Structure 1
Amino acid sequence: MWQGAVLADSADLVARDGVVYFPPDAVDWRYLQRSAKRTWCPWKGRARYYTVAVGDAVGRDAAWTYPRPWPWSGGLRGRVAFGPPIMIDVPPPAGMKPRPA
């Protein structure tokens, strides 16, 4: 959730390098606008970025996906990740207790 909008919701998550990736059908694409930014990762491939806009709040290039990742990237094809300023709240796995504050 960001700025009161649920950007993505799914239990089918993939985590890589501290980043959580959502399946594309779990993303509310109304809030994402394709940006011109592209980056290259030698382990995952070329990333395509999206600007996230909710009302007047804009997170420039705050979401990305790997449309055609390398085969060894572990199932990232088409999945969407979110970065700053968007924080992902993922509950701990079943049976795991959260750390005390």
Structure 2
Amino acid sequence: MKATWNGVTLAESDDTVVVEGNHYFPESSLKREYVSFSNHRTSCAWKGQAHYYSLFVNGEMNPDAVWYYPEPSEAAAQIKGRVAFWKGVKVEE
């Protein structure tokens, strides 16, 4: 699977975990040069608290487009150390 936005590959891996239709990539596959810190947080009733990264690619910002669960609940343990994408990021084979 490959995650792309604004003409750039953000992550690529054949080891993704699918939860609720979202591919969670290993955090190590994320190209850090396109990622910046975000204070944004949301809560999921069964996964726990999600943290976010923003993307900065080719001069354009995509705020809070990457999310991850640093300490997921036991029920979502399979996504620990993984990131997922939204906000226009294409995830495809």
TM-score by length of 1: 0.84
Structure number with greater Rg is 1
SS at match of 1:21: strand
Runs of 4+ in 1 over 4 A off after TM superposition: none
The AA in structure 2 aligned to 1:35 is S
SS at match of 2:6: coil
- Partner deviation per Cα, 1:43-98 (whole Å, 9 max, x = no partner): 10010001111022211100010001001114111200000121211x3xxxxxxx
Structure 1 equivalent of residue 6 of structure 2: 3
SS at match of 1:43: coil
TM-score by length of 2: 0.90
Q: Which ranges of structure 1 fall in alignment gaps of 5 or more residues? A: 92-101
- By relative contact order (CA 8 Å, sep 6+), the higher-ranking structure is 2
CA distance in 1, matches of 2:58, 2:90: 17
CA distance in 2, matches of 1:39, 1:3: 25
> Contact 1:8–1:26 at 8 Å: present in 2 too?
yes
Q: Which ranges of structure 2 fall in alignment gaps of 5 or more residues? A: none
The two structures, once aligned, show a CA RMSD in angstroms of 1.0
SS at match of 2:75: helix
State percent identity of aligned pairs: 38
Structure-to-structure mapping, 1:16-95, within 5 angstroms? 16-89=19-92, 91=93
